[in-house]
């Protein structure tokens, strides 16, 4: 049976096979990941004896380490002419590392396990995004990324529900729950290993052979001023967008019971999943910049509200709004990357995109954790809102002439 390529006819409104496979991979992977993530902050603090400062260090270092690999993997996938290997191995690393959480006894051990999980994400993310951009037509990229994000968030919604149901029947088996995340992860690896294709592999290899004697470069030189300005805006925005684990901590402070945190996480991701597909269509019809601009302003307002919230129902309402923010901006962010970059640098462009976001994660989560611990939520969330407003001003200066 021949491998599918972009040249094969597609049914109307049917996304390419690669996009559909990667969407289902995101779904299953996030079922596994989000069975752990909502419980991880409380597991660190109450079971392993860690603190909010430890949480900031773990999340910041893990995400920053992943960001370095996102840059390398994106550029190198351009170089070698293949995306599939990076994607499969990236999911495999995460699949093996996550269940080890159930065996941990100290905060420093969680640091290494969480970092390994993020290394897998770093290896796969940029090549995956580039493969989605290549597999979809230019006028349907928003829908393609919207589908991938929708499936990702649907998995993230179901994962906490499964975790809650498991802990309802086996309340003292938290560590067993962590080990069981191996099952959906294994399904992802098998599905992609046998189903995913490098649809443009031949084209990339032919293009790169004349430059095979040159050194591998991660330079920004192939990109114009607008792409670089966009990266700067993303970097500054991410400085104010710390780990969502702090939002779960804040929800607990506002009175949401620990048992209900997975349910809150489910509602959050369900909103993102339901709205992402619609947001992707809006991006294709109206362009990527306007939804992103509006989304960042909404984010600033949400963070201000988190600072002044005083009741559990405030947390529920703000998580709903936060889900809308994510759904609106995620397809727009990636579509804008694909539209600002040339066809020969898609992998490197997504590498820089993910790097700019990831490299800001360490100072973001670390500083937020310190501010939260020392000065409370008003200063911590207020600083995040201020940086979001600065980033929105920079985004306004980005020009996408001739492209949406």
pLDDT in tens, 240-262: 998 888 999 899 899 998 878 87
CB 44 within 8 A of CB 58: yes
- The C-alpha angle 128, 348, 111, rounded to 5 degrees, equals 65
CB 236 within 8 A of CB 387: yes
CB 54 within 8 A of CB 145: no
Please give the residue that has the higher pLDDT: either 266 or 115: 115
What are the structure tokens assigned to 139, written together?
């006028």
What digits encode the pLDDT tens for the residues 3-28?
Answer: 444 444 444 467 889 999 999 999 99
Instruction: Provide the CA 108 distance to its chain's centre, in angstroms.
Output: 24
User: In the chain, helix, strand, coil percent, each to 5?
Assistant: 80, 0, 20
Mention every residue, 6+ apart, whose C-beta is less than 8 A from residue 391. Answer: 233, 234, 236, 237, 240, 296
> What's the whole-number average pLDDT of the chain?
84
* Residue 11 within a domain: no
- For 334, how many CA atoms within 13 A lie in the half-sphere containing its CB? 33
140: pLDDT confidence band, cut at 50, 70 and 90? confident
* Residue 185 within a domain: yes
203: pLDDT confidence band, cut at 50, 70 and 90? very low
CATH number of the domain that residue 176 is part of = 1.20.1250.20
CB 361 within 8 A of CB 63: yes
* Residue 379 within a domain: yes
* Mean per-residue pLDDT, 195-210: 56
400: pLDDT confidence band, cut at 50, 70 and 90? confident
53: pLDDT confidence band, cut at 50, 70 and 90? confident
Distance CA 402, CA 383 (A): 35
Please give the residue that has the higher pLDDT: either 289 or 56: 289
Coil/strand/helix, residue 51: coil
Does the pLDDT value for residue 88 go beyond 80?
A: yes
What digits encode the pLDDT tens for the residues 278-296?
Answer: 888 888 888 888 899 999 9
| Lowest-confidence segment of 53-67, 297-311, 350-364 by average pLDDT | 53-67
pTM for the full predicted model: 0.78
Percent of the chain, pLDDT > 70?
90
Supply the range of the domain harboring residue 285. 17-208+222-396
What digits encode the pLDDT tens for the residues 141-184?
Answer: 888 999 998 898 888 888 888 988 898 898 888 889 999 999 99
66: pLDDT confidence band, cut at 50, 70 and 90? confident
Q: What pLDDT sits at residue 9?
A: 42
Question: Could you give the C-alpha distances from 152 to 56, 86, 148, 194, in angstroms and in order?
Answer: 24, 19, 6, 20
* Residue 46 within a domain: yes
What are the structure tokens assigned to 260, written together?
């209900």
Mention every residue, 6+ apart, whose C-beta is less than 8 A from residue 333. Answer: 234, 288, 292, 353
Q: What pLDDT sits at residue 13?
A: 63
92: pLDDT confidence band, cut at 50, 70 and 90? very high
* Residue 389 within a domain: yes
Q: What pLDDT sits at residue 362?
A: 73
216 burial via Cβ count (<10 Å: 0-12, 13-18, 19+): exposed
* Structural domains counted in the chain: 1
């Amino acid at each position: 049976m021949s491998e599918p390529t972009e040249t094969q006819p597609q049914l109307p409104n049917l996304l390419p096979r690669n996009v559909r496979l990667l969407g289902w991979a995101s779904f299953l992977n996030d079922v596994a990941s989000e069975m752990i993530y909502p419980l991880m902050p409380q597991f660190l603090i109450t079971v392993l004896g860690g603190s909010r400062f430890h949480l900031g260090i773990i999340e910041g270092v893990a995400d920053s380490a992943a960001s370095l690999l996102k840059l390398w993997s994106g550029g190198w996938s351009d170089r070698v002419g293949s995306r599939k290997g990076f994607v499969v191995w990236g999911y495999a690393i995460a699949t093996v590392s996550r269940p080890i959480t159930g065996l941990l006894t100290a905060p420093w051990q969680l640091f290494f396990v969480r970092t390994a999980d993020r290394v897998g994400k770093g290896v796969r993310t940029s090549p995956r995004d580039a493969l989605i951009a290549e597999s979809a037509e230019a006028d349907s990229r928003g829908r393609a990324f919207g589908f991938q994000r929708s499936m990702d968030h649907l998995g993230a919604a179901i994962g906490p529900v499964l975790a809650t149901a498991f802990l309802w029947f086996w309340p003292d088996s938290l560590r067993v729950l962590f080990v069981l995340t191996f099952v959906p992860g294994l399904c992802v690896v098998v599905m992609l290993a046998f189903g995913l294709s490098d649809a443009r592999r031949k084209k990339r290899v032919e293009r790169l052979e004349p430059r095979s004697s040159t050194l591998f470069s991660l330079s920004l030189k192939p990109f114009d001023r607008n792409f670089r300005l966009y990266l700067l805006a993303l970097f500054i925005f991410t400085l104010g967008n710390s780990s969502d684990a702090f939002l779960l901590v804040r929800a607990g402070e506002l009175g949401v019971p620990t048992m209900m945190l997975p349910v809150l996480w489910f509602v959050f991701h369900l909103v993102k999943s339901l709205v992402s597909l619609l947001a992707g269509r809006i991006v294709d019809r109206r362009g990527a910049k306007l939804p992103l601009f509006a989304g960042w302003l909404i984010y600033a307002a949400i963070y201000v509200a988190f600072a002044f919230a005083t009741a559990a129902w405030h947390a529920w309402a703000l998580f709903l709004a936060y889900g809308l923010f994510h759904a609106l901006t995620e397809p727009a962010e990636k579509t804008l990357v694909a539209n600002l970059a040339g066809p020969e640098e898609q992998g490197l462009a997504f590498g820089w995109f993910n790097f700019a976001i990831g490299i800001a994660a360490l100072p973001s989560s670390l500083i937020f954790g310190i501010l939260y611990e020392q000065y409370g939520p008003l200063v911590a969330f207020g600083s995040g809102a201020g940086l979001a407003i600065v980033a929105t001003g920079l985004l306004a200066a980005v020009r996408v002439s001739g492209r949406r």
